[in-house]
Amino acid sequence: MTDRLKIERLYKVFADRPAAALDMLRRGASKADVLRETGQVVGLDDVSLSVPSGAMYMIMGLSGSGKSTLARCVNRLNEPSAGRILLDDEDLCSLGEAALREVRRKRISMVFQHFALLPNRRVIDNVEFGLKLRGVTPRERRRRAEEVLEVVGLARWAAKMPHELSGGMRQRVGLARALATDADILIMDEAFSALDPLIRAEMQDELLRLQRTLHKTILFITHDFQEALKLGTRIAIMSEGRLVREGTPQSIVLEPGSDYVAAFTRDVDRARLFDAASSMTALVPLVQGESWTVLGGASDGHAADRGPGFVVDAHARVLGTITAAQIDSVRDGAALPELDGAFSCVPSHAKLIDVAGRFGGAPAIGVIDETGRLVGRLEAGQVLARIGAGGANGVRHV
C-alpha cells in the first residue's frame, strides 16, 4: 500500500521568530524548557509519520498534545515552522498562495467538531458550497450534492434548513460537504466529540460504512482512545507536541511502550479489539499424503497434550480433523483414518468476542484467510489469555 501523505520532521512554534526555539528542540529540549527559556509555545516537536492511501489514520492525545495543531498544519491553517508535508510527494510547505488555495479547494477537505454549516442555507446548498467555490457549474454541483446526500442517508432532507436537523444529521451534512469535493485527504478534527454518546456511536458506524465503499484517506483527530480503536487502521499518539507511539490498534494495546500510552489502553475491551489472527497458533505440516496434508502445532510432547490435526487438501482447505493419537499412527505408517467432519473454522479477522462462543466441546478452531485457506489454530486457552491479559503488559519506561 502506497503512502498518500508523509510528514517529515515537522515543527510548529507559535512565534514570529522561532529560530531559537527550534535550535533548543533539535538539541533535545522539551516544550516546557522552550517556554521557560524563550516564552514561546511549542505546538509540534519533530513529528514524522506516513498515512497509507485509503487508511483511517487516527491522531490522538490529551488536550495540548499537538494533535489539532498537526491537522491544521497539513493544510497550512497553521504555518509549519520547519519540516515537510508531502501529499503524493508534493511538498505542501513549498506552495505559494495560489497553489495552496487550489489544494484546499480540491485535494484536502475538513470536517469540524461544531459542524460549521451556513445557517441561512438549505442542506443541499451547504453540501454544494465547496464545489461552488471551486467553480463547478450549478448543474454538476447539484448532481454531485444529491448523490452524496443519498450516500449519507439525507436525500429526503435536502431542502431543510440546518436548524431543522438533529445534531447527528447536521454532522452528516458536514461530512457530505467534505465528501462532495472528492478530495484526496479528508481531515476530521474531533468531528464527533460534540455529539451525544448514542449519536456519536451511530456516526462512527456510518463513517465505517462509508469507508468500506469510498476508501478515503482520512486523518481523524480524537482524544478518545475507544473511538481510535473502533475507527482506526493505524493510531498515532501524541504528548507535548511529540509523537510518542504509532502502530496498529492491536500492537499499541499489546506494547504501549510507556506509562502515558498504557493509561489509554487500560480499560480497553480486548475481546472486541483482538482478532483470531492475533491469538492463533501457526500450523506446520506433520504428515503428508498424495492429496492431503495434516497440519498441526509443535509435534513434541505426549499426544494427550496436543491439539487436533487439521487435514487439508492441496489448496489448504480443511477436509476434517484427526486426533493427536491418530496423527502418531499415520506417522508410523497407518492409513489416514475417517475424518471428523464436525470441525469449526473462523475468519482470521473475526473478533474474539465472536469466536469465544464457537468452541463448545471442540478443543480447537481452525483460522482461515480471505480465500478459505487454513492459516492457524485457535484454542480456548489462547482466547482467554488474550482477553484477560493486563493492560500494563509491554510497558517500557521511555
pLDDT of 302 higher than 80: no
Query: Is 322 within a domain?
Result: yes
Instruction: Work out the percent of the chain whose per-residue pLDDT is above 90.
Output: 59
On whether both 66 and 197 belong to a single domain, the answer is: yes
The last residue of a domain, from among 270, 304, 332: 270
Domain of 140, in residue numbers: 3-270
**Of 183, 181, 186, 178, nearest in space to 136 by CA:** 181
What's 114's domain CATH number?
Answer: 3.40.50.300
Cα three-residue angle 43-47-48, rounded to 5 degrees: 155
pLDDT of 304 higher than 60: no
What confidence tens digit (pLDDT) does each residue in 27-60 have? 999 999 999 999 999 999 999 999 999 999 999 9
**What is the predicted pLDDT for the residue at 196?**
84
Q: Are 173 and 115 in contact (CB under 8 A)?
A: yes
**What is the predicted pLDDT for the residue at 222?**
93
Query: Is 333 within a domain?
Result: yes
Backbone angles phi and psi of 152, in degrees to 5: -90, 5
Q: How confident is the model at residue 8 (pLDDT cuts 50, 70, 90)?
A: very high
Tell me how far apart the terminal alpha carbons of the chain are, to the nearest angstrom.
31
Query: Is 186 within a domain?
Result: yes
Query: How far apart (Å, rounded) are the C-alpha atoms in residues 144 and 151?
Result: 11
Query: Is 133 within a domain?
Result: yes
Query: Is 370 within a domain?
Result: yes
**What is the predicted pLDDT for the residue at 58?**
96
pLDDT of 395 higher than 80: no
Query: Is 284 within a domain?
Result: yes
On whether both 243 and 323 belong to a single domain, the answer is: no
Higher-pLDDT residue of 298 and 142 is 142
- Which residues in 209-239 are b (16+ Cβ under 10 Å) and which e? ebbeeeebbbbbbbbbbbbbbbbbbbbbbbb
Paired residues of 14 in beta bridges: 41
On whether both 299 and 382 belong to a single domain, the answer is: yes
Please name the residue ranges forming H helices in the chain.
19-26, 31-38, 67-74, 97-106, 123-134, 138-151, 167-180, 197-214, 225-231, 249-254, 259-265, 270-273, 276-279, 324-331, 352-355, 380-388
**Strands of 317-397, DSSP E:** 318-322, 345-347, 364-368, 374-379
Query: How far apart (Å, rounded) are the C-alpha atoms in residues 351 and 384?
Result: 13
On whether both 124 and 188 belong to a single domain, the answer is: yes
Query: How far apart (Å, rounded) are the C-alpha atoms in residues 157 and 165?
Result: 8
On whether both 266 and 282 belong to a single domain, the answer is: no
Q: How confident is the model at residue 389 (pLDDT cuts 50, 70, 90)?
A: low
Q: How confident is the model at residue 298 (pLDDT cuts 50, 70, 90)?
A: low
Q: What's the half-sphere exposure (Cβ side, CA atoms, 13 Å) at 257? A: 13
What's 352's domain CATH number?
Answer: 3.10.580.10
**Of 77, 150, 156, 151, nearest in space to 122 by CA:** 156
Which cell numbers in the block locate residue 317?
482447505
Number of independent structural domains in the chain:
2
pLDDT of 152 higher than 70: yes
Query: How far apart (Å, rounded) are the C-alpha atoms in residues 388 and 76?
Result: 44
384 Cβ partners below 8 Å, 6+ apart? none
DSSP 8-state code for residue 340: B
The last residue of a domain, from among 218, 247, 270: 270
Query: Is 184 within a domain?
Result: yes
**Of 264, 270, 267, nearest in space to 62 by CA:** 264
Q: Are 138 and 210 in contact (CB under 8 A)?
A: no
Backbone angles phi and psi of 367, in degrees to 5: -115, 125
pLDDT (average), residues 110-122: 83
On whether both 261 and 165 belong to a single domain, the answer is: yes
What confidence tens digit (pLDDT) does each residue in 86-105 have? 999 999 999 999 999 889 88
What confidence tens digit (pLDDT) does each residue in 252-286 have? 999 999 999 999 888 888 888 999 999 898 899 99
On whether both 280 and 189 belong to a single domain, the answer is: no
On whether both 233 and 152 belong to a single domain, the answer is: yes
On whether both 8 and 99 belong to a single domain, the answer is: yes
Query: Is 395 within a domain?
Result: no
pLDDT of 391 higher than 80: no
What confidence tens digit (pLDDT) does each residue in 317-366 have? 999 999 888 998 998 989 999 998 888 899 999 999 999 888 876 667 99
pLDDT (average), residues 283-302: 80
On whether both 82 and 166 belong to a single domain, the answer is: yes
Residue 86: what residue type?
L
Q: What is the DSSP string of 234-269?
A: EEEEEETTEEEEEE-HHHHHH---SHHHHHHHTT--
Which cell numbers in the block locate residue 308?
487436533
Cα three-residue angle 265-390-269, rounded to 5 degrees: 50
Query: How far apart (Å, rounded) are the C-alpha atoms in residues 52 and 27?
Result: 31
On whether both 240 and 347 belong to a single domain, the answer is: no
On whether both 47 and 89 belong to a single domain, the answer is: yes
Average pLDDT, whole number, for the chain?
A: 89
**Of 64-73, 100-109, 125-134, which one has max mean pLDDT?**
64-73
The last residue of a domain, from among 211, 241, 270: 270
What confidence tens digit (pLDDT) does each residue in 211-255 have? 988 899 999 999 999 999 999 999 999 999 999 999 999 999 999
Query: How far apart (Å, rounded) are the C-alpha atoms in residues 358 and 353?
Result: 10
**What is the predicted pLDDT for the residue at 57?**
96
